[in-house]
Structure 1
């Protein structure tokens, strides 16, 4: 089969000044994409800012013969996001790919976490994905083509101590993706999520031994992301990736038990083993499929 290429296509990668985003931007450019390298240049808790990191990645891309421009906008700033999209349209006249990768951390146990720590992480991860997606959505609809990759996390999918804010934002992104995959279908806009495991600034304080960190190179996640950016990408998929290994995560629902219209608390308790039985569990494509299951059970099917 032919190599996956992005010749003539334009990609925006947020948070691309380092770590995962940098690798995604470099690989997209190496395969022919023109790339907007977005990075606020702040610290891991969102403080500060500057476009030096983005400029360095642009220089790398240009030195390798590619095309790129830098953008230092915050993904939470409406005017900045609009400017990022305008920069791409002014330079190249189209936007085919958005990789929403930007993020920060404010890790604390829920007991010690202040609401502002919760709000800023939600804003950067969730609204910082929504705002760029909204800004490119009509462009992609008018083109009848688009690929959007959002970034989730095992903290959102499964939980992680001290990351209630981050986990809430990262699972919220999956809810966002699950609706966009449906609304984008008729215009050939595919929306997928990557759940990466990689050694970056955001993981350097987790206490992993150096030999483990050496296996978790960001560039070993990038092949999965770039595939999700391609014409052959699926839609509505959560791809997990780390150390060169790849898997798909799904939200599944058990078949459950129809107790009846007079169900009691005690009957739920007494049927719990059957309610939670994983045999026959399914991953639904939309909420209507779940409703259909309950109507079927209501009718005794």
Structure 2
């Protein structure tokens, strides 16, 4: 390993399993001291009986790394505040925040209960905002004290947030919100030495095990394109000081592929100097659609 994160303190939420676990192990392997957060809930957010964060901490310590567990609910003010406090009280600093925690409650919109909407938006979107808000307050304080950090935030969106996904209206809306939050945070926090980026990963985890169940390692290379460990190198690099100058970006990543996503930009425009009648607005839209690139297909419609 290169030791690209030697000396850095990294917080990873939802790090007990899947992508979060892979990120925590990868950061530790590169010299970081890691705060491993996981509430230990089921796939749908219901309380679980185990403590997966402790297991990941044990894995890191077993190979000589440094890690500490945090089992608080990061979608609450106290849980998020205590997460940042654990990093500062244990290791004396905070350099990188990786927001990853989440779960699913998939339903078609006509069957989606309000409670399922609230729960998914809460863990994904609020669960990104609150740790970010408390970490940012610390970094602002550091900057005002003359210690401007090389701080990094990596948020976790999804292809569902980029394109939408049938049966996942709650999840898609939350993941799209994370993209906008990333752009705002990158613009606001740069003055405090903070870079904020987002990833939209595809990997085999509890949340996607049915989707990718049949994807196995290629026999000729042994490369498992859907292994969560494939996503972690990008996250580690974005979370390191080596990523200086990269902020406000969104990366789609799967296997060995990394795509820099380009978001909403002005496309064809119909100029006008006076109010249109409805049929005139419709004619303009039809003309614009002929000139525009077709949108990407919503997941589940292909």
The higher-RCO structure (CA 8 Å, 6+ apart) is 2
Instruction: Check whether the contact 1:39–1:51 (CA below 8 A) recurs between aligned residues.
Output: no
Describe the SS at the equivalent of 1:194.
strand
Task: Return the alpha-carbon distance in structure 2 between the equivalents of residues 24 and 232 of structure 1.
Answer: 17
Q: What are the superposed Cα offsets for residues 101-158 of structure 1, whole Å, 9 maximum, x if unpaired? A: 0001000101111000000000000000001001111222224221001100111110
Residue 50 (structure 1) shift:
5.5
1:288 is matched with none
Distance in 1 between residues matched to 2:109 and 2:65, nearest whole Å: 45
Structure 1 CA distance for aligned equivalents of residues 267 and 286 of structure 2:
11
**How far apart in 2 are the matches of 1:262 and 1:19?**
53
> Which range moves more in the overlay, 208-217 or 177-186?
208-217
What secondary structure sits across from 2:260 in the alignment?
A: strand
Please name the residue that 2:129 is paired with. 130
Once the two structures are TM-superposed, the CA of residue 90 in structure 1 deviates from its matched residue by: 0.7
In 2, Cα distance between equivalents of 1:235 and 1:207: 30
Distance in 1 (CA, whole Å) between partners of 2:49 and 2:57 is: 14
Aligned counterpart for 2:253 among listed residues 217, 224, 241: 241
Equivalent residue for 2:231? 221
Per-residue deviation, 1:49 = 3.7
Contact 2:204–2:212 at 8 Å: present in 1 too?
no
Match of 2:269 among 256, 259, 270: 256
| 134-143 vs 57-66, which moves further | 134-143
Instruction: Measure the CA separation in 2 of the matches of 1:249 and 1:164.
Output: 21
Post-superposition offset of 1:255: 4.2
**2:201 counterpart of 1:196:** yes
**Partner of residue 290, structure 1:** none
Provide the C-alpha distance between the structure 2 equivalents of 1:174 and 1:21, rounded to a whole number of angstroms.
Answer: 19
Match of 2:192 in 1: 187
Aligned to 2:26: 27
SS at 1:271 equivalent: helix
Q: Which runs of 4+ in 1 moved over 6 A?
A: none
* Rounded Cα–Cα distance in structure 2 between residues aligned with 1:81 and 1:188: 21
Match of 1:144 among 143, 148, 153: 148
| Structure-1 residue corresponding to 2:214 | 209
Mapped partners of 1:25, 1:84: distance in 2: 15
Between stretches 224-233 and 99-108, larger displacement belongs to 224-233
**In structure 1, how many angstroms separate the alpha carbons of the residues matched to 2:194 and 2:253?**
23
Residue deviations 1:161-190, cap 9 Å, x none?
A: 100000000001111111111101112210
TM-fit CA distance, 1:75: 1.4
TM-score by length of 2: 0.87
- Whole-Å Cα distance in 2 between the matches of residues 207 and 62 of structure 1? 31
Q: Secondary structure at the match of 1:35?
A: strand
Q: Is the 8 A contact 2:84 2:134 kept in 1?
A: yes
What's the offset of the Cα at 1:207?
6.4
- Cα distance between partner residues in 2 of 1:51 and 1:16: 14
Compute the displacement of 1:79 (Å): 1.6
Q: Which runs of 5+ in 2 are unaligned?
A: 219-223, 294-302
SS at match of 2:242: coil
SS of equivalent to 2:165: coil
Structure 1 distance, partners of 2:283, 2:12, is 51
Q: 1:262 to 1:80 in 2, by over 3 A?
A: closer
In the alignment, which residue of structure 2 is the partner of 1:57? 56
Q: 2:281 aligns with which of 265, 268, 287?
A: 268
